[in-house]
Amino acid sequence: MAKVLAFDVYGTLIDTHGVVSELEQRLGALGKAELAPEFSRRWRDKQLEYSFRRGLMGAYEPFVRCTEEALVFTDRALRAGLSDTDRDHLMQIYAELPAFPEAEGALASLGEAGVTCVAFSNGTAAAVEGLLEQAGIRGYFADVVSVDEVKRFKPDPAVYAHLRHRLESEPGDTWLISSNAFDVIGARHAGLHAAWVRRSPEAPFDPWGIEPDLTVTDLDALAERLG
Burial of 84 (0-12, 13-18, 19+ CB in 10 A): exposed
pLDDT tens string 104-121: 999 999 999 999 999 999
Please compute the mean of the pLDDT values over residues 83-96 and round it to a whole number.
94
| Alpha-carbon torsion, ordered 35, 40, 42, 48, to 10 deg | 170
Domain 16-94 sits in CATH at 1.10.150.240
Backbone phi and psi for residue 116, each to the nearest 5 degrees, phi listed first: -85, 130
The tens digit of pLDDT for each residue in 141-189 reads: 999 999 999 999 999 999 999 999 999 887 778 899 999 999 999 999 9
Boundaries of CATH 3.40.50.1000 in the chain? 4-14+98-226
Arithmetic mean of pLDDT, 48-73: 97
Active site residue 84: no
State the first-to-last Cα distance of the chain, in angstroms, to the nearest integer.
16
pLDDT of residue 153: 97
Gap between the Cα atoms of 183 and 172, Å rounded: 17
The CATH code for residues 4-14+98-226 is 3.40.50.1000
Contact between 176 and 183 (Cβ < 8 Å)? yes
From the candidates 8, 15, 75, 156, which is the catalytic residue? 8
